Amino acid sequence: MRDSEQPNVRQARPRKPLGSTQLRELAMNYVARFATSSGRLEAYLARKLRERGWEEGEPGPDIPALVADFASRGYVDDEAYARTRSEGLLARGYGARRVGEALRQAGIDEN
C-alpha cells in the first residue's frame, strides 16, 4: 500500500496546559457526573495535571485547597459517599474487610 492509499489517521492534537479556571471546571464537571470522595477528586485532578501540565505564568495549583473548597460547599461529601458506597457493596454481598478496602482506596479514613 502506498502512502497515498493509506487511510487517513487523525493525529491527536496536543492539549493545552491547564490553568486555574480549567482545573476548577474539570473538578466541577467531575463532581457533577460522579458521586465521589475528596480523595478520589484529588487523585483525578492530580492525574489531569500530570497529563496536561500547568500553564506557564500562573501560580502553581493548590489541589488540596480546591478540594477543600468543594467539600465546604457540599459538592463533595466523604461521609455520604462512604455510607452510600458501603451500603451498595454490602447489598452485593461483599464482606466488611472488602468494603473497608474499597473505602480506603477512595481516600476515606476508617473513622
Buried b (16+ CB within 10 A) or exposed e, 44-80: bbeebbeebebeeeeeebebeebbeebeeeebbbbee
Residue 17 confidence (pLDDT): 85
Asked if 66 and 29 sit in the same domain, the reply is yes
Gap between the terminal Cα atoms of the chain: 63
Q: Please tell me whether residues 20 and 32 are part of one structural domain.
A: yes
Domain containing 103 equals 77-111
46 and 24 together in one domain: yes
- The verdict on residue 4 lying in a domain is no
Do 62 and 29 lie in one domain? The reply is: yes
Residues 70 and 82 placed together within one structural domain of the fold: no
Q: What is the pLDDT along the chain (111 residues), one digit of tens a residue?
A: 565 666 777 777 777 888 899 999 999 999 999 999 999 999 999 999 999 988 888 788 899 999 999 999 999 999 999 999 999 999 999 999 999 999 999 999 876
Shared domain check, 70 and 37: yes
Domain shared by 82 and 34, yes or no = no
Instruction: Answer whether residue 24 is part of any domain.
Output: yes
**What are the CB-based long-range contacts (under 8 Å, 24+) for 79-82?**
80/35, 81/35, 81/36, 81/37, 81/106, 81/108, 82/37, 82/106, 82/108
Looking at the structure, tell me whether residues 97 and 53 fall in a common domain: no
Residues 20 and 67 in one domain: yes
Interior angle at CA 33, CA 26 and CA 60, nearest 5:
20
Per-residue pLDDT at 6: 65
Domains in the chain, number: 2
Residue 98 forms part of a structural domain? yes
- The confidence score (pLDDT) of residue 12 equals 77
Predicted TM-score (pTM) above 0.85: no
pLDDT of residue 105: 92
